[in-house]
Amino acid sequence: MKRDEKKAWMDFSVTGRNKEKARVMASPFRKKPGKDESRDYEEYRLSLNGSWDFMLAEGDELPDIEKFFVSQNIIDEDKEEKSRTDISRWGRITVPGVWQLQGWGRPPIYLAHSFPEGVDTDPERIPYIDPKINEIGIYRRKFSVPAGWKNREIYLVFESAKSDLTVFINGEEAGYSKGSMLPAEFVITSFLQEGENEIVAAVRKYTDASYLENQDMWVFSGIYRDVYLQAEERVHIRDFHLDSILAEDYTRADCRLTAELVNRDTAARRVTVEGWLTDEGEKLKLGEKEVLLKPGEGRIVVLEGMISQPKLWSAEIPNLYTLYAAVVMEDGSFEEKSISYGFRKIEIKDGIFYVNGQKVKLKGVNRHDFDGDTGWTVSRERYEEDIRIMKRHNINAVRTSHYPDGEYFYELCDRYGLYVMDECNLETHGVRSSIPGDREEFRPVLEERLERMIVRDRNHPCVIIWSLGNEAGKGENFRWMYNACKKLDPSRPVHYEGDKRKECSDFLSAMYYPVEIMELMASGQDIDVEGVMGLAEGVRMKKEEYAGRPILLCEYAHCMENSLGNFQEYWDIFEGCDQMAGGFIWDFTDQAIHGVNGKWLYGGDFGEGKTNGYFCANGLTGADRSPHPAIIQVKKTYQNFRIRRKEDGKIVIQNDNRFLDGSIYELHWEVAQNGWKIKEGCLPFSLAPGAEGEWEIPFKEKMLPGEEYILTVSLCRKSGCLWAQKGEEEAFEQFILQYGIPEHGQQHENTDLVSQGIHTLCKKEKVMITGNAGGAWKITFDRKTGWISELDYGNGNLFCIPMKAEYYRAKTDNDRGIINFGRRELLERLGNEDMVKRLFASDILQGAADKGKLEKFELCEENGMLKVRAVFANSLFEGPLTFIYTIFENGAVEAEQNGIPKVDLYRIGMRMELPGSYNRVKWYGRGPEECYCDRKGGTRFGLYEGEAADLEHRYMRPQENGNRCDVRFLEITDKSGAGIRIDNKINSFVDAYYKGNNYNNSADREITAWDGMNFSVHMYSQEALDMAEHIFELRDSGHIHLHVDAKVCGVGGDLPGIALLKNAYKISKGEEQKQHFIIRRLSRS
């Protein structure tokens, strides 16, 4: 297409034809004179959702639409018949829905920050999209207007369609729209006929709007939100909104109801406009006004009133009123519209964010409107499920990344209580350096997108911040949008991250600033930090640039599958600095597609070409809303009560809620000895918002030496609510009262060599050690490798392969680092093929134990004990890598390793492979969920058990998973109870115990990163896990694959797909690393 041949779908200045202005999405109800006000209401709305005729055309030019109205082309539900247009075959499609997930057209495409092939990104050619990649979906159905709608104005509403929408009624064009995330509405009264009517809607896959909607999500197309007809009286309220100004002491609200009244009649009409609020049946009048309207006239009517002692709305206490706007007709009948409304005040004072006069932290998450089965079509049930998950995990805020969500989502946020950053449908990620920038020709489309969002959503109390868009560059257009936003709604602050000038945003907003930068900002310092490998920008900022504005991370804690490490560190900083307003985790749910046979698929699985692969999986939940382990840490970090223990043993609790009294909770406590609960109780609890109180736990029992005692304090709901059941825990903390080494009935090994009765037999390649204490047993070492090849406690060899050291793990997405971006993109970014090859080469830690050379293997007696020493020279370690095994009379094996690595390790431990029958697992340590050294605060110490297959966590892309840390002992048995027990022998946790009882305090974090051993158990090998690219590729090997580790490094998560581990969570090179554990026999029960 030449630049002088603009078509509507390739002209940024065209946003629609015959499209109605935005309005509040309220439906009319009619009340007839003389009727009881509480009943006999009739709703004038007719859903057109359901099954439609559908066909797909190639290219971007609409075919001859008139041919689509030929009645013989309409097909039966169960038949297909070729249309006389010869473009394609008619079929059926479900509306709302995207056509790619209903078997139509080219496959879906997932791209994180670029455009599909065929979308030209040359600034001189924008907008140009190759017609060969375009598709047009043609939708068709018949409908009849209800008889009761006679003499009313009929509107046709498409809540969303992408990328554009052309509507025809009975063969005539009724309207056109671009802007795919907000409603398009058309007056169709004049196009209707008696009886049956026919509608055809044409939707292009790509238009110039695609350049403005380059969000990190799948490329879908279609009519994906509700479609309906709405009938209005000839004189009706088209739009209305209520502005309220709260007094300084919040004892009154001065209200201003603005209603847009229109007369579609051919005669003048005299009507009365009324407005009121209701609260639990009480009617609170806002005023009334009589209006004479000429034919075709529209008028703004303002009613003013005052509400005394208004109940305030907040995310903690979401008090709601019902707001009514009504038109009283000449005959006394009236038609009303109603919405929920809440009184609240949003302010920024001295760089601090306030709600209703209180400092509020946004404990937020980004959320895409997405469902793994239906794409952008999200059911009401799914919306409500999402809200409940958020509330149950102490999330109080959501950013609608990166476009307005469906209307019902905001209704739920109003009702359940969630703060919302409502984001304009604007992202030009792949071309943000060129558009919209300073170019004034974009202002009409920017204004339309911003205004339609604000007008639709401004009555929702949940919406506390407007966002101008996401990753759309910088320039004067954002200063202009900021001013336009303030003119439309001065009551809310404005956010934008891409242009950090104060003229563009009321916040200093940032993405993925690491903890180190946040520490500098919290202390008011200049920032000068380099980027990471050329893929993450450095940050350079004078303190004056962020002074006086709340600091907000609109994206942080990138939760790319096994991620969200060091999350607590952010909030240690946020809670200590009033200027820190909080942040929004990236993101809420994985964007995986549920394919055939239940397989979860991602970018590249559809043969679609250019893709960002599995980068679509960044959620706290799976696409089916099953929780990922990271969300447990979110609940803990976001909890609204801080609990600590004083030196005198008293519990101190601070209520971080700003409005909610703690009297709705009960304080539960329990003390466990070596994981077994020995005493519990419940204490009266009440704590004012922001207050701190002390409680004494009535535990006076004497603690036995050598035993471990842990106190757990919980706050649980006294009664149920919308999202939680009675007794559900909302906050907890654990405290070590006494550190010990639980023996659980195990006897100490006999250390008198003379009485051991141990026999050794040395052969050329093997050393066999046997004994009979506690039953016959045998341990065999391979003299060539130095590893234990056999451990037999009378039921056969427990080791399917030799037990040997391991320093690698199946890489997480964060471990993979920048190769997550894919070869093609890295070549484009780095421009160095050799460098890219090196990035994709095998990790040097793979098979590291096998790369060592056994230099010494010996049996010896030390202090009366039989020991086997194996010393390796390994290129990955400085000096010797030493393993010492102590053999006891009863066949127990104490294993030690130590060495100084030359590179940072993923783990330092041993791997074992047991027969598949040994699938019962019991442990004392953190659980029950997966946890890692930098993401373990949400789990708790306890005694847990389960089957091996249930201890993994299945991420969308297979990777390291299922680790449990801070473990004191582990038991692996068969169904009879026979097996092994492994006890940790490094007691580093005692250091933390003596330093301070609350081991979760940030001051103790470096010491308490390693509080016991780690373990993970799977039904498949680490190699199989590392090689698989989809979870359905994994197969049960028939064996139990056990890893026992002194340390497993953290998972990270500050940056997208890059671990960026903190030093405290690394297994650092140049430092001596040790492991020490003991394996004991477990006999049949």
- What's the confidence (pLDDT) of residue 34? 57
Q: What is the DSSP string of 611-649?
A: --GGGG---SB-TT-PBPTHHHHHHHHH-SEEEEE-TTS
Confidence band of 538 (pLDDT split at 50, 70, 90): confident
**DSSP-based three-state secondary structure for 68:** helix
Per-residue confidence (pLDDT) for residue 1002, from 0 to 100: 40
Q: How far is CA 331 from CA 42, 147, 272, in A?
A: 17, 21, 11
Of 76-80, 214-218, 229-233, 958-962, the one with minimum mean pLDDT is 76-80
Q: Is the pLDDT of residue 29 over 90?
A: no
Say how many residues make up the chain.
1085
Domain 757-1082 CATH class label: mainly beta
Per-residue pLDDT at 72: 41
User: How many other CB atoms are found less than 10 A from the CB of residue 544?
Assistant: 8
Give the integer Cα–Cα distance in Å for 891 and 747.
13
Tokens of 73: 């082309």
Evaluate if residue 385 carries a pLDDT over 70.
yes
246-249: Cβ within 8 A, 24+ apart: 246/310, 246/312, 246/343, 246/344, 246/345, 246/356
Q: Estimate to the nearest angstrom the gap between the alpha carbon of 275 and the chain centroid.
A: 40
Pairing mode, if any, of strands 759-762 and 729-738? unpaired
Tell me, which fold does domain 8-232 have in CATH? Jelly Rolls (2.60.120)
**How large is the average pLDDT for residues 49-62?**
94
pLDDT at 285: 95
Per-residue pLDDT averaged across 749-767, rounded? Answer: 72
H-run or E-run covering 879 = strand 877-887
Report strand pairing: 419-423 vs 397-399: parallel
Cα–Cα distance measured from residue 599 to residue 372, given in angstroms and rounded to the nearest whole number: 11
**DSSP string spanning 89-114?**
B-EEEEESS-GGGGT-SSPPEEESSS
Label residues 322-355 b or e (16+ Cβ within 10 Å = b).
ebbbbbbbeeeebbbbbbbbbbbbbeeeebbbbb
pLDDT at 1059: 86
The pLDDT score that the predictor gives to residue 598 is 86
Beta carbons of 99 and 54 less than 8 angstroms apart: yes
**Residues 109/216, Cβ–Cβ less than 8 Å:** no
Portion of the chain with pLDDT greater than 70, in percent = 90
The 10s digit of each residue's pLDDT in 254-293 is 999 999 999 999 999 999 999 999 998 899 999 999 999 9
pLDDT at 1003: 36
**Reduced to 3 states, what is the DSSP secondary structure of residue 1074?**
strand
Give the span between the Cα atoms of 725 and 717, in whole angstroms.
8
Among the residue ranges 251-255, 610-614, 728-732, the one predicted with the least confidence is 610-614
Cα 59 off chain centre by: 36
CATH of domain 639-738: 2.60.40.10
Are the folds of 235-346 and 639-738 the same?
yes
Average pLDDT, the chain: 90
Structure tokens at 39: 């009943």
What confidence category does residue 825 fall into, taking pLDDT thresholds of 50, 70 and 90? low
**pLDDT confidence bin for 596, thresholds 50/70/90:** confident
Per-residue confidence band for 536, with pLDDT thresholds at 50, 70 and 90: low
Query: Given pLDDT bands bounded at 50, 70 and 90, which one contains residue 823?
Result: low
* For range 674-700, the mean pLDDT: 95
How far apart CA 882 and CA 875 sit, in angstroms, is 14
Mean pLDDT of 422-437: 94
Q: What is the pLDDT of residue 831?
A: 67
What mean pLDDT is predicted for residues 301-329?
96
Q: 76: pLDDT confidence band, cut at 50, 70 and 90?
A: very low
List pLDDT tens digits, range 917-938.
999 999 999 999 999 999 999 9
**Which tokens go with 765?**
């390649």
Q: Cis ω on the peptide bond leading into residue 96 (within 30° of 0)? A: yes
Average confidence (pLDDT) over 157-185: 96
**Confidence tier at 251 by pLDDT (50, 70, 90):** very high
220 CB contacts (<8 Å, ≥6 apart)?
98, 99, 100, 101, 108, 162, 375, 376
User: According to CATH, what is the number of the domain 235-346?
Assistant: 2.60.40.10
Domain ranges for the chain, please list them.
8-232, 235-346, 639-738, 757-1082
Contact 433, 476 (CB under 8 A): no
pLDDT in tens, 710-747: 999 999 999 999 999 999 999 999 999 998 766 644 44
| pLDDT level of residue 840 (50, 70, 90 thresholds) | low
Could you give the angle at the alpha carbon of 467 between the alpha carbons of 480 and 157, nearest 5°? 95
pLDDT at 811: 94
Least confident of 63-77, 267-281, 645-659, 1004-1018: 63-77
Helix-helix angle 476-488:443-457, to 10 degrees: 30
Q: Is the pLDDT of residue 542 over 60?
A: yes
pLDDT in the model for residue 830: 65
Residues 197-226 have a mean pLDDT of 95
Q: Return the minimum-mean-pLDDT range out of 3-7, 219-223, 495-499, 947-951.
A: 3-7
Query: Which pLDDT value is given to residue 820?
Result: 67
pLDDT band at 863 (very low <50, low <70, confident <90, very high): confident
- What's the mean pLDDT in 149-165? 95
**What per-residue confidence (pLDDT) applies to 862?**
87
Distance (Å, rounded) from C-alpha 277 to C-alpha 283? 6
Amino acid identity, residue 558? H
Q: Among 193-202, 403-412, 825-834, 915-924, where is mean pLDDT lowest? A: 825-834
Please tell me the predicted confidence (pLDDT) of residue 1060. Answer: 86
- In terms of pLDDT, which residue wins out, 986 or 258? 258
Higher pLDDT, 421 or 755: 421
pLDDT exceeds cutoff 50 at 989: no
Confidence tier at 81 by pLDDT (50, 70, 90): very low
Give the model confidence (pLDDT) of 805-817 as tens digits.
999 999 999 998 7
- Catalytic residue numbers, as ranges: 471, 555
Lowest mean pLDDT among 571-580, 712-721, 988-997: 988-997
